[in-house]
Amino acid sequence: MLPLVVLMLSLSAVLPAPTVDFQLDEHWNLWKSWHNKKYHEREEGWRRMVWEKNLKKIELHNLEQSMGKHSYRLGMNHFGDMTHEEFRQIVNGYKHKADRKVAGSLFLEPSFMVAPRSLDWRDKGYVTPVKDQGGCGSCWAFSATGAMEGQLYRMTGRLVSLSEQNLVDCSRPEGNEGCSGGWMDRAFQYVLDNGGLDSESSYPYMGVDMPCHYDPRYSVISLAGYADVLSGSEASLMEAVGSVGPVSVAIDAGHTSFQFYQSGIYSEQDCSSLDLDHGVLVVGYGTAQSLLSDANYWIVKNSWGSSWGDNGYIYMSKDNNNNCGIATAASYPLI
């Protein structure tokens, strides 16, 4: 074994280092400028190679999409210089465990109502603009505030942006872990225990763990509880979204296809319905008609800024065996 190791080391010493495609220089510089990327001299070569590798994956996927192999397209975005391992560590903060529940009641489908065939709560004023969690694993907080913002609007007619930083800093007693991850149910439980949650304007997002400084003078919402949707049932999730408003969900976002999603209906065959790592918000659903078939989709608000995906949103495959676990851990607050 030792001679083989020596040989490999010898070869690595004489073989040329990986090179970049100089024809992409202008594209690389434009991408860096657009996303305000700056690197140490020793780091830039490595980041350039990662970027080029990701670009080739995107181009191959889109070529296959043009041939009918995929239902969605990918695009280069601000995650382009990250390996997939780095991406997962930084942005996926939903901590899926069997004990995620605290004391949520079970959503009961209303017998007096039939959910509409399509619905978009954005059109009805329930949804704030897309936000950006940055490098903090606080997706759970953004999902939770999105659901609470929708319910606050439903009850009062006022759309108020709520403070994710308040949840990041203050909900550790309920079991959340700040920028290291958390649960939407436990965010709701914090607001229930605390008696309120501050507005975004009074408690702005910093994207780092900080001491709690909740101020009841700026609280704009209180909760009476929260409800969990029947796990795994897309039909129940549709009833909840259709009758209540935007609903917090957890998904498996741990794939390169999700990292660079741009448009179309996202369906990932390698997705898990149980291994969930990212909290997002379902704000509606619909059906896309094509010459070949009709495809149902969920309208999902993400928290990676409006430059990601379809203006910050992703359209995820609906009624497709709970693809990516979208109906596995859905919940919403009660006011």
pLDDT in tens, 80-95: 999 999 988 877 888 7
CA distance 244 to 212: 31
24 found inside a domain: no
pLDDT in tens, 145-177: 999 999 999 999 999 999 999 999 999 999 999
Q: Where are the alpha helices (DSSP H) in 106-261?
A: 139-156, 164-170, 184-194, 234-243, 256-259
Q: Which 8-state DSSP code applies to residue 47?
A: H
Residues 131 and 269 occupy one common structural domain? yes
| Residue 276's CATH number | 3.90.70.10
**CA neighbours closer than 13 Å in the CB half-sphere of residue 282:** 35
Is 302 catalytic? The answer is yes
Q: Which of 96, 176, 278, 296 is catalytic?
A: 278
Q: Band the pLDDT of 293: cuts 50, 70, 90.
A: low
Residue 61 structural domain: 38-85
The residue behind tokens 């670009």 is 55
CA distance 313 to 306: 8
327 found inside a domain: yes
Residues 55 and 140 occupy one common structural domain? no
115-119, 236-240, 315-319: segment of lowest average pLDDT: 115-119
Residues 214 and 70 occupy one common structural domain? no
pLDDT in tens, 176-234: 999 999 999 999 999 999 999 999 999 999 999 999 999 999 999 999 999 999 999 99
Q: Please tell me whether residue 120 adopts helix, strand or coil conformation.
A: strand
Is 321 catalytic? The answer is no
Written as one letter, the residue type at 266 is: Y
Q: Where are the alpha helices (DSSP H) in the chain?
A: 2-14, 25-34, 41-66, 84-91, 139-156, 164-170, 184-194, 234-243, 256-259
225 found inside a domain: yes
* DSSP track, 267-325: --TT--SS---EEEEEEEEEEEE-SS-EEEEEEEE-SB-TTSTBTTEEEEE-SSSSGGG
Residues 127 and 189 occupy one common structural domain? yes
Confidence at residue 290, expressed as pLDDT on a 0 to 100 scale: 58
For CA atoms 176, 177, 182, 184, give the dihedral sign. Answer: positive
Q: Which of 319, 326, 315, 318 shows the shortest CA–CA distance to 272?
A: 326
18 found inside a domain: no
Domain boundary among 85, 106, 123: 85
Number of domains in the chain: 2
256 found inside a domain: yes
What pairs with residue 289 in β-bridges?
294
Residues 80 and 95 occupy one common structural domain? no
Domain boundary among 85, 102, 122: 85
Q: Please tell me whether residue 164 adopts helix, strand or coil conformation.
A: helix
Residues 119 and 212 occupy one common structural domain? yes
Residues 158 and 75 occupy one common structural domain? no
pLDDT at 142 over 90: yes
Written as one letter, the residue type at 81 is: D
Residues 73 and 123 occupy one common structural domain? no
Confidence at residue 102, expressed as pLDDT on a 0 to 100 scale: 52
CA distance 294 to 284: 17
Is 271 catalytic? The answer is no
Give the residue-averaged pLDDT of 248-268: 96
Residues 148 and 47 occupy one common structural domain? no
Residues 81 and 98 occupy one common structural domain? no
282 found inside a domain: yes
33 found inside a domain: no
Q: Please tell me whether residue 53 adopts helix, strand or coil conformation.
A: helix
6 found inside a domain: no
- Which residues are CB-contacts of 235 (< 8 A; sequence separation ≥ 6)? none
Confidence at residue 1, expressed as pLDDT on a 0 to 100 scale: 41
Residues 150 and 74 occupy one common structural domain? no
Domain boundary among 27, 50, 85: 85
Structure tokens at 96: 């899926």
Written as one letter, the residue type at 241 is: V
Q: Which of 54, 77, 136, 139 is catalytic?
A: 139
What pairs with residue 184 in β-bridges?
none
Residues 80 and 126 occupy one common structural domain? no
Q: Which of 234, 280, 241 shows the shortest CA–CA distance to 258?
A: 280
